Amino acid sequence: MKMACKSIITHIQAQAEKVIARHEKLEAEMAEVCRERDRLQAELRREQEQVRELKEEIKRLQLAKSLAGNSADNKKSRARINLLLREVDKCIELLSKAE
């Protein structure tokens, strides 16, 4: 009977050691996945910022091109600038009222 109990205990200990080793391996893998996720999120933020900057550059170039273009383009550009200025004036007015 004692031999059977020892065998069972040895088997349980071996299984527990395997579970602990697997757990440690999974924790290490999870840590690596988390690091990779963080790296990818940072890369995504950089890429999104670059896209935003490039879109702004496109707008500036389009405006510069339209200002240098024909009179129809100039009229459109001036109308757009006037619209933007009116929007800025409205914002300033709202800020002034808020104070």
The parent domain of residue 50 ranges over 2-68
Cβ pair 80, 63 in contact under 8 A: yes
* Same domain (yes/no): 40, 6: yes
- Structure pTM? 0.53
47 in the same domain as 12: yes
Statement to judge: residues 63 and 78 lie in one domain: no
pLDDT in tens, 9-46: 999 999 999 999 999 999 999 999 999 999 999 999 99
Q: Tell me if 80 sits within 8 A of 69, measured CB to CB.
A: no
**64 confidence band (pLDDT: 50, 70, 90):** confident
- pLDDT score of 71 more than 70: no
Total domain count, the chain: 2
- Give yes or no for a contact between 81 and 89, defined as CB atoms under 8 angstroms apart: no
Residues 64 and 80 in one domain: no
61/75 same-domain check: no
Query: What percent of the chain clears pLDDT 70, i.e. is strictly above it?
Result: 89
Q: Do residue 15 and residue 45 come from a single domain?
A: yes
- The encoded tokens of residue 33 equal 């996945």
Instruction: Look at residue 51 in the predicted model and tell me its pLDDT.
Output: 95
